[in-house]
Structures are given as C-alpha cells and as structure tokens.
A = this chain, B = another copy of it.
Amino acid sequence: MSDTDELAVWCAGDEWCPVTTTATLIGRKWHPVIVHRLLEKGPLGFNALESEIDGISSKVLSDSLDDLEEAKLVDREIVSEKPFRVAYSLTERGEDLEDVIEAMAEWGRTHLVPADEEGI
C-alpha cells in the first residue's frame, strides 16, 4: 500500500458517511492538536512535540501518536540510532487535514475566548 492509496474503512449500514469515518480517525481530544502543531512547526521529536502541546501527558501523547501512525496520518522516523532520536511528521494524507484544522481554529477564534480575556 503506497502513501497515496486510499484507506479502506468499513462503515455499518447502507449509506457510507465520510464525516463518520473521518470522525473515527481524528474525532478525539488531542489528535487535531497534534496535527496542528506538526503543520505549524514541521517534524518534531517526542519531547519537542510534548512541549508544544500544553496539557497533554507523555502517556497520552504516546498513545495518540500510535493511533495517528496506524491511521497513516503521521510518520515516525528514526533519525539517529546513537544517540537515539526520532522525528514525527505528517504524511501527505495528514497534511491534507489542513483545511479541517484551519476551520477548527477559525471557529475557536470566533466562538471561544480564553478565560483571562473575559470581561475586559
């Protein structure tokens, strides 16, 4: 299976819904944020990525990256064996999520506001 192949997903019922299948892949708390940071910053190591994502723990980041790798949205490359270094980056499929992520960011900027800025 090449990088540009479509990912087969089964969906129960008569009608196949692209929103449902997309949501099963990225409809989780941290997945969009991870993709967003990799879009912004390019390839990052594990700790660098963790520092970029405020509020995530190394355990949850590790689990989420496993999911995203399995979904072929993120690539994990071993950059160096000694010392051991890795780089997480987006696949083409992952980069194509830019429109989704940007729409989420725009919605957030319009409809949400940090608690600090409330009532200024």
Contact = CB atoms under 8 A, between A and B. Distances in A.
Interface of A: 6-24, 26-33, 36, 53-55, 93, 96-97, 99-116, 118
Contacts of A20: 33, 53-55
For this chain, the copies found in one complex come to: 2
A8 B28 CA distance: 21
18 contacts: A6-B112, A7-B111, A10-B115, A11-B55, A11-B114, A14-B54, A17-B33, A19-B101, A21-B108, A22-B105, A23-B28, A23-B30, A23-B31, A27-B27, A27-B30, A97-B107, A99-B106, A100-B104
B112 A19 contact: no
A22 B100 CA distance: 12
